[in-house]
Amino acid sequence: MPEQTDGRIGARLRELRKRRGLTQRDLADHSGVSLATIRNLEQGVQEALRLETARKLASALRAPTSKIVRREEEPVPEITLAADMWLPVEHAVQRPPGADDLPEPTLDGVEEALQAARAVYYADNYAELATLLPPLVRDADSLGNTSEARDVRARLLHFTGAALTQVRLWGAADTALERALDEAPDSAVAAGVVTTRCWLLMRQGQLSEARELATKWADDLEPRRISRATPDDLAAWGWLLLHAAAAAVRDNREGEAAVAIRLAEGAAVMTGRDLGYGRRMNRWGPTVVAHKEVEHYVITDHPDEALKLAGKQASKAGARRLPSDGNANRHRLDVAHIHARLRNFDKAMETLWGVHTTAPSWLSRQQYARDILGEVVERRRTLTPEMRTLADAIRLPL
């Protein structure tokens, strides 16, 4: 049965096709939908559309079917960085495979390039990353459909979705993550993708959706016998729990968040040690969970408990820092926030300056850092040279 649309389907289809850089003929070739149908839809001659036809068009356009048949317009996301720099990445994620005539890539070559891109990402070099990703995504799209090809493609699209989320290109990030989930060869890779999707939803303020998604996947992936679960199993389950907790506490569901944190803590204890990135986008282990517990106390306005727990964690970690670890850096901002909240402004500045020293590019994009420094500056009659330097570096409004 044809889907009754709101009369704007043709405009949405035309806009999406143009954004993907396709002609009507290109779209017909990639989707299998007749050129006449596409023309009639875009010209408004035809308004009713079969759902299967909409799905074919959406698949060719690298978009959810709802992008075409939806009954309401979506808000334009706020983009705070130089969006033009990331347009090639968006186009690479969204363009149908086979749209470029390039040399045949190899599985080993794409894997090696992915690891190199990850190193650039963790070094906070986003300008270089925006240059590396477009050809890499196109190469991965050309690898075929073996299990090995799907695995590396899923991990690359997951990584690309995380990078696009970091720079607030929500639509392209959503497309990359949807594709990654579709390519995921196993539950561990899929769980990682879902974890990043929860982060994307939370950054857009969709707390209920993020909480429900993380909770569903955590329930589905909970090990039947935790004592026999592998570290990767525990990491996948634990991160889903942490995102369920993060969304719940931000949605004023403190009890639900506390339960999820406790379960994640148990998974970290069973893991027994802090794990590196490996195939994941995030580190995992007791340190990660402790950082999230501090965040929980910060959000629920318990600064004394947060500072006490952060102090315990710092004494365990010693002076070792991981400047490319976004979660660790976020924890340090939580510590700076606690100090500012307790009017320990010198300590707050010391912590902020430490993050600036080790991860200046990452810090410059953090609204959280601007909020903290803004509170410190507001309460000081005069500013130190470090305060002025930091204010300029993170673009604190005058």
Residue 32: DSSP 8-state: -
SS3 49: strand
First CA to last CA distance, the chain: 58
Helix spans in 272-366 (H): 286-299, 303-317, 326-341, 345-358, 360-364
**Of 83, 87, 62, 69, the residue nearest 12 (C-alpha):** 69
Paired tokens of 43: 């010209």
Parse the chain into domains and list their residue ranges. Answer: 2-69, 187-311
**Of 202, 286, 162, the residue nearest 294 (C-alpha):** 286
pTM: 0.74
DSSP structure string for 232-292: HHHHHHHHHHHHHHHHHHHTT-HHHHHHHHHHHHHHHHHH-S-B--TTSSS-BSHHHHHHH
The amino acid occupying position 6 is D
Residue 391 to residues 37, 339, 382, 395, 398: CA-CA distances in angstroms? 56, 18, 13, 6, 9
Residue 18 to residues 12, 42, 88, 199: CA-CA distances in angstroms? 10, 12, 14, 29
Residue 191 to residues 156, 177, 184, 240: CA-CA distances in angstroms? 15, 11, 9, 7
Judge whether 284 and 271 are in contact, CB under 8 Å. Answer: yes
Cα separation, 202 vs 198, whole angstroms: 6
User: What was the pLDDT predicted at 49?
Assistant: 74
Q: Which CATH superfamily is domain 2-69 in?
A: lambda repressor-like DNA-binding domains (1.10.260.40)
Q: For 282-333, what is each residue's pLDDT tens digit?
A: 889 999 999 999 999 998 889 999 999 888 877 776 544 444 577 889 999 9
**Of 281, 297, 286, the residue nearest 246 (C-alpha):** 297
Cβ neighbours for 294, distance < 8 A, ≥ 6 positions apart: 306, 309, 310, 313, 331, 334, 335
**Of 249, 326, 247, the residue nearest 280 (C-alpha):** 326
Tell me which residues of the chain have a pLDDT lower than 70. 1-7, 51-52, 66, 70-83, 95-103, 317-324, 398
Paired tokens of 322: 């991981």
Question: Is there a shared CATH topology between the 2-69 domain and the 187-311 domain?
Answer: no
Cβ neighbours for 285, distance < 8 A, ≥ 6 positions apart: 268, 271, 273, 274, 275
**Of 219, 180, 212, the residue nearest 196 (C-alpha):** 180
**Of 117, 68, 69, 123, the residue nearest 92 (C-alpha):** 117
Q: What is the CATH number of domain 187-311?
A: 1.25.40
Paired tokens of 173: 């990030």
Cβ neighbours for 121, distance < 8 A, ≥ 6 positions apart: 129, 159, 162, 163
Judge whether 200 and 170 are in contact, CB under 8 Å. Answer: yes
User: What was the pLDDT predicted at 80?
Assistant: 47
